[in-house]
Structure 1
Amino acid sequence: MTLIAILLPWLSFLLRGKLLSGILCLILQCTILGWIPAAIWAVVSLNDSRADRRNRKLIKAIKQNRASY
């Protein structure tokens, strides 16, 4: 998914269900100079999404662990 975020940043957003961000990224990517910021934005957004998912898992595990005591 990181490779998609670098090569086709707009597709990375669309695959994650962020339609408006995907369209905005596609507009930004239409220029050669905009490709680099669009790719960076997509990679950072992907990493944030992964971190959020990881944090939700940890919080759920902590809550389940506390409930067992």
Structure 2
Amino acid sequence: MTLIAILLPWLSFLLRGRILSGILCLILQITVIGWLPAAIWAVVSLQDSRADRRNRRLVRAIRRNGA
């Protein structure tokens, strides 16, 4: 997924269900200058969503153990 975020940032957003971000990223990527910021934005967003998912799992595990 990281490779997709670097090469086709807009597709990375669309595959994760963030349609408006994907369209905005596509518009940004259309310009040659905007491709690099779009790729960086997609990779950072991907890492943030992975961290959020990991944190939710940790909170669920803590609640299940009764702490």
Q: Give the shorter-chain TM-score range.
A: over 0.9
Structure 1 stretches of 4+ moved >6 Å: none
State the shift of 1:42 in Å: 0.1
Percent of aligned positions that are identical: 81
Within 5 A, what are the aligned runs for 1:21-32?
21-32=21-32
Q: Please, what TM-score do these two structures have when normalized by structure 1?
A: 0.95
As a proportion of its length, which structure holds more helix? 1
Q: CA deviation digits over 1:16-44, x for unaligned, max 9?
A: 00000000000000011100000000000
Report the counterpart of residue 55 of structure 1 in structure 2. 55
Q: Please, what TM-score do these two structures have when normalized by structure 2?
A: 0.98
The gaps in structure 2 that reach 5 residues or longer are: none
State the shift of 1:6 in Å: 0.1
> What do you get for the CA RMSD once the two structures are aligned?
0.8
State the shift of 1:59 in Å: 0.1
The gaps in structure 1 that reach 5 residues or longer are: none
Give the aligned length.
Answer: 67
